[in-house]
């Protein structure tokens, strides 16, 4: 089910292509790792969030270019820094409401 969901999201919800920047909340989870692998295989830059350095290492081993430790870093500021203020093309969120930033932050993300 995670594979089908990942494939649908990266091809139908938003077609991830070479040069895109993809943001994945919970990048070290089952679906997050699949999203990172497929996005990277399509030529995207992958930015993800996770909670521990161990999970960050796992995500990087599966294609994440940058991993933000959301308990230690400001996610919005870090993404803007990594993208030179451009933000990302698409966000995949494996958690839901608990990870949403404030509406005023979304405008700059």
Is 36 inside any structural domain? yes
Is 31 inside any structural domain? yes
- For residue 94, the model assigns a pLDDT of 74
Residues 58-68: pLDDT tens digits?
Answer: 999 999 999 99
Domain count, the chain: 1
CATH number of the domain enclosing 6: 3.40.50.720
Is 49 inside any structural domain? yes
Range of 77's domain? 2-96
Q: How confident is the model at residue 102 (pLDDT cuts 50, 70, 90)?
A: low
Is 103 inside any structural domain? no
Is 101 inside any structural domain? no
d(CA 8, CA 88): 19
- For residue 76, the model assigns a pLDDT of 93
Residues 39-94: pLDDT tens digits?
Answer: 999 999 999 999 999 999 999 999 999 999 999 999 999 999 999 999 999 999 87
Q: How confident is the model at residue 105 (pLDDT cuts 50, 70, 90)?
A: low
Is 104 inside any structural domain? no
Closest CA to 28 of 101, 95, 103: 95
Tell me the pTM: 0.86
Is 57 inside any structural domain? yes
Buried b vs exposed e over 80-90: b needs ≥16 C-beta within 10 Å?
bebbeeebbbb
- For residue 1, the model assigns a pLDDT of 86
Task: Out of 6-10, 55-59, 105-109, pick the least confident.
Answer: 105-109
């Amino acid at each position: 089910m995670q594979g089908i969901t990942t494939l649908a999201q990266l091809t139908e919800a938003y077609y991830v292509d070479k040069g895109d920047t993809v943001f994945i909340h919970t990048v070290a989870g089952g679906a997050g790792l699949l999203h990172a692998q497929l996005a990277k295989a399509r030529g995207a830059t992958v930015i993800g969030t996770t909670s521990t350095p161990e999970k960050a290492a796992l995500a990087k081993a599966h294609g994440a270019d940058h991993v933000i430790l959301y308990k230690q870093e400001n996610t919005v500021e870090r993404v803007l820094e990594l993208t030179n203020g451009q933000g990302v093309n698409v966000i995949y969120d494996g958690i839901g409401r608990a990870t949403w930033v404030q509406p005023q932050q979304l405008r700059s993300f």
